[in-house]
Amino acid sequence: MKQIAICPGSFDPITNGHLDIFERASRMFDELIVAVFHNPNKKPLFTMEERVALLAEATGHIPNIRIDSFSGLLNVYVREKNANIIVRGLRALSDFEYEFQRALLIKKIDPVIETVFMMTSSEYSFVSSSGIKELAKFGGVITDFVPSCVEREIMRRSAQI
């Protein structure tokens, strides 16, 4: 049976920390679906379509990744994709506390779905999408923290940040 995992997130923007998780998770599963989630509580820099396109460009070197987008309940989306595993990247203990509660809720709603937590590589443990946007807003260099396609698009619209 083909093992499909879902890695959901807003990815606004995608960082090298995200890419690290995608590359490593892709070696664990037959297919990894990176799913851009519409979060109504956030005001994104990039549209959902732009984030999907940037993810496709940044992950083009990983053969078993598919990029998608969704809104609604994650457990429903996971079932629609015939998956039963959610991959969540963690940077720090605070991430774990938040993600652990979410995983327990999903487990209660749908006991078949498992959540796998992956620690990001230490070189990216301090990198966050919000931090990237703030750094770019004030003219900081983001080259080491995001894929080149993301840097290009952030610099192109830096006045909007």
Residue 5: its pLDDT value, please?
A: 98
Kindly report, residue by residue over 21-43, the tens digit of the pLDDT: 999 999 999 999 999 998 888 78
Average pLDDT over residues 2-6: 96
The residue annotated as part of the active site, out of 66, 81, 91, 137, is 91
Active site residue 42: yes
Active site residue 91: yes
Mean pLDDT of the chain: 94
Q: What percent of the chain has pLDDT over 90?
A: 86
Confidence of residue 94 (pLDDT cuts 50, 70, 90): confident
Average pLDDT over residues 74-78: 97
Q: Binding site, residues? A: 10-11, 18, 42, 74, 88-91, 99, 124-130
**What's the token pair of residue 117?**
């937590």
- Higher-confidence residue of 1 and 32: namely 32
Kindly report, residue by residue over 44-70, the tens digit of the pLDDT: 999 999 999 999 999 999 999 999 999
Give the count of alpha carbons within 13 A of 48, CB side only. 14
The residue annotated as part of the active site, out of 38, 42, 152, 157, is 42
Active site residue 102: no
Residue 41: its pLDDT value, please?
A: 82
Per DSSP (E only), the strands in the chain are 4-9, 31-37, 65-70, 85-90, 114-119
CA distance linking residue 83 with residue 153, whole number of Å? 32
Asked whether the predicted pLDDT for residue 10 surpasses 80, the reply is yes
Kindly report, residue by residue over 115-124, the tens digit of the pLDDT: 999 999 999 9
CA distance linking residue 126 with residue 62, whole number of Å? 24
Q: Binding site for ATP, residues? A: 10-11, 18, 89-91, 99, 124-130
**List of domains in the chain:** 4-159 (3.40.50.620)
Active site residue 129: yes
Residue 80 CB neighbour total at 10 angstroms: 11
